[in-house]
Amino acid sequence: MKTPVADYLAHVLKQCKQNDQGALADYIPELASADPNKLALALSTIDGTSYATGDKDTEFTIQSMSKPFAYALALKHLGLESVLKKVGVEPSGEAFNQISLDAKNKIPKNPMINSGAITTHSLIHAEAGADRAETLRVFLSELAGRELEFDEQVYRSELETAFRNLSIGYMLRTVGVLDEDPVAIVHGYIKQCAIKVTVKDLAQMAGVLANGGVQAKTGKRLLSRVVVRQVLSVMMTCGMYDAAGDWLTTVGIPAKSGVAGGIIGVLPGQIGIAVFSPKLDEHGNSVRGIEIMERLSNDMGLHLMEGTPSAQTIVQRRYVVAETDGNNQTVVYELRGVLQFTESEMLLRILEDEPEGDTRIILDLTNISLLHDVGARMLFEGVNRLIEDGHTAVILDAEGILTEAQCKGRKTSVVTEPLDRYLEKQLKI
Ligand code: DON
């Protein structure tokens, strides 16, 4: 059987091709000569599977879609507290290139509008022998899984007409948000916008964010969960500029657009999406891109506010192991799925039914796919209370899903060998 997903994506693209509205960005001369008919869509799942259709190999410049990743890099190097001193997190409701500051704090309102993005660029810690734009290019290449390049022509073209961004740079230098030469910073920011990507690259990058910072294909963690949460929050509230409210209500996933016609969307824990079509609306967002994203969100139930209900089946099986160990009974709780607050609460309620006594109780995590910190805390608390009731209780973590931090100081309650071997030893089978 062939999965219908690729056919579905091609079908959506074909339908949205008919929309001819919008105009090419012309304030960057080179972008005004783009082919307005180009159209592409790619999707990347959190297990590393990719789908792409349309002009999927066409390269275009990343433009403002570089902003969330530059923000991620600044957060990674400096930490949240330091970054928040320079750039806020409030939606501005203004155009992307508004010359503005937060009235109270006198810093840019958020890292998605240009004043915040230029400031964020200045916060990137340049690697030895590289400038900030090059450091970001290397990082984006790692996210995309291939070596990306700068589009020198687009870079030079934007430099010729960068008056607005230079004004923003001088304004930021005047109020002390920037403490270096604003021209060099603005040029670096413009260079970061000129990195060439395809929708496939962007879907991979968005997929890393969807996967909590881990690149699915290599299993390598490129960003911490805390950084990803911060970046996605800001994308959700500010990523679509003065169309953010419309976007949140209709599409409902964190996103970022770029004036070359790209849009990325991230559905946490599920997929990364990228679309490309160069004609833009009055906010600087791709017209067909928005239509495609709306369509995917509706068809595929992607809107975050629809929520993902808990599977409500945390205990896959409870069984009693044949008694071979004197009088003690051994009971195994085989757990399955995701263990967050809802599932942990459910599990602890089920364990309430275990009568006081001296049963050996094993909570088997082998089939748990994701263990949230709150899930781990509640699990250990459950073990403590079972012990208080007279039982011998352990958590069996043969797959090593518990992190060091989660079991700090509680390792005696954790068994790391497979269930059969543990039972063999305990019950002398
Ligand atoms: O700052 C600029 O003008 C561009 N290099 C990037 C702007 C952009 O992509 C706005 N987003 N839709």
Q: For residue 425, what pLDDT band results from cuts at 50, 70 and 90?
A: confident
303, 338, 368 — which closes off a domain?
303
How far is 212 from 207, CA to CA, in rounded Å? 9
- The stretch 384-407 carries a mean pLDDT of 94
Of residues 134, 144, 132, the one with CA closest to residue 74: 132
What residues contact 166, with CB distance under 8 A and at least 6 apart?
182, 183, 186
Atom of ligand 1 nearest to the CA of 260: 9
- The stretch 33-42 carries a mean pLDDT of 96
Residue 200, in any domain of the structure = yes
Pair of tokens at residue 134: 């090059």
- 208 with 150, same domain: the answer is yes
Q: For residue 427, what pLDDT band results from cuts at 50, 70 and 90?
A: confident
| C-alpha 57 to ligand 1 mean position (Å) | 22
How far is 427 from 420, CA to CA, in rounded Å? 10
Residue range of the domain that includes 360: 315-426
Mutation choice for ligand 1 from 115, 158, 160, 193, CB with most ligand atoms inside 8 A: 193
How far is 190 from 162, CA to CA, in rounded Å? 8
Residue 297, in any domain of the structure = yes
- 52 with 133, same domain: the answer is yes
- 399 with 250, same domain: the answer is no
pLDDT digits (tens, 9 = 90+) for 11-23: 999 999 999 999 9
| C-alpha 259 to ligand 1 mean position (Å) | 5
| More confidently predicted of 300 and 80 | 80
Q: Decide if pLDDT at 410 tops 70.
A: yes
Q: Decide if pLDDT at 428 tops 80.
A: no
Return the pLDDT at 325. Answer: 58
Q: Is 394 in contact with 413 (CB distance < 8 Å)?
A: yes
Q: For residue 344, what pLDDT band results from cuts at 50, 70 and 90?
A: very high
How far is 269 from 267, CA to CA, in rounded Å? 6
273, 303, 333 — which closes off a domain?
303
Of residues 301, 295, 254, 293, the one with CA closest to residue 277: 293
Give, in degrees to the nearest 5, the angle at Cα 359 between 358 and 365: 140
DSSP state of 29: G
What angle, rounded to 10 degrees, do the helices at 373-388 and 341-351 form?
Answer: 10
Number of neighbouring beta carbons within 10 Å of residue 148:
21
How far is 68 from 12, CA to CA, in rounded Å? 27
Q: For residue 293, what pLDDT band results from cuts at 50, 70 and 90?
A: very high
Mutation choice for ligand 1 from 27, 31, 114, CB with most ligand atoms inside 8 A: 114
Atom of ligand 1 nearest to the CA of 285: 12
Q: Decide if pLDDT at 1 tops 90.
A: no
Q: Is 84 in contact with 151 (CB distance < 8 Å)?
A: no
Return the pLDDT at 141. Answer: 98
Supply the mean pLDDT for the chain. Answer: 94
> pTM for this structure?
0.86
- 256 with 187, same domain: the answer is yes
Percentage of the chain beyond pLDDT 90 is 84
CATH number for the domain harbouring residue 188: 3.40.710.10
Percentage of the chain beyond pLDDT 70 is 98
Residue 308, in any domain of the structure = no
Return the residue matching tokens 């001819």: 20
Return the pLDDT at 324. Answer: 58
24, burial (CB in 10 Å: exposed 0-12, middle 13-18, buried 19+): middle
233, 268, 303 — which closes off a domain?
303
pLDDT digits (tens, 9 = 90+) for 59-114: 999 999 999 999 999 999 999 999 999 999 999 888 999 999 999 999 999 999 99
- 92 with 45, same domain: the answer is yes
DSSP string for residues in 135-179: HHHHHHHHHHTS---B-HHHHHHHHHTTHHHHHHHHHHHHTTS--
- 297 with 398, same domain: the answer is no
CATH number for the domain harbouring residue 370: 3.30.750.24
| C-alpha 209 to ligand 1 mean position (Å) | 21
- 127 with 229, same domain: the answer is yes
Q: E strand or H helix at 41, and its extent? A: strand 40-45
- 272 with 346, same domain: the answer is no
Residue 80, in any domain of the structure = yes
Q: Decide if pLDDT at 326 tops 70.
A: no
Return the pLDDT at 307. Answer: 76
pLDDT digits (tens, 9 = 90+) for 119-142: 999 999 999 999 999 999 999 999
Q: Decide if pLDDT at 56 tops 70.
A: yes
Return the pLDDT at 385. Answer: 95
- 68 with 122, same domain: the answer is yes
How far is 69 from 46, CA to CA, in rounded Å? 18
Return the pLDDT at 306. Answer: 87
Q: Decide if pLDDT at 429 tops 60.
A: no
- 361 with 293, same domain: the answer is no
Pair of tokens at residue 97: 């290139």
Atom of ligand 1 nearest to the CA of 27: 3
Q: For residue 248, what pLDDT band results from cuts at 50, 70 and 90?
A: very high
- The stretch 182-188 carries a mean pLDDT of 98
- The stretch 172-195 carries a mean pLDDT of 97
Question: Of 217-226, 256-265, 400-409, where does the model show the most confidence?
Answer: 256-265
Q: Decide if pLDDT at 222 tops 90.
A: yes
Q: Decide if pLDDT at 369 tops 90.
A: no
pLDDT digits (tens, 9 = 90+) for 270-280: 999 999 999 99
Of residues 238, 110, 122, 104, the one with CA closest to residue 169: 122
What total number of domains does the chain contain?
A: 2
How far is 334 from 318, CA to CA, in rounded Å? 6
**Residue nearest (by alpha carbon) to ligand 1 atom 7:** 64
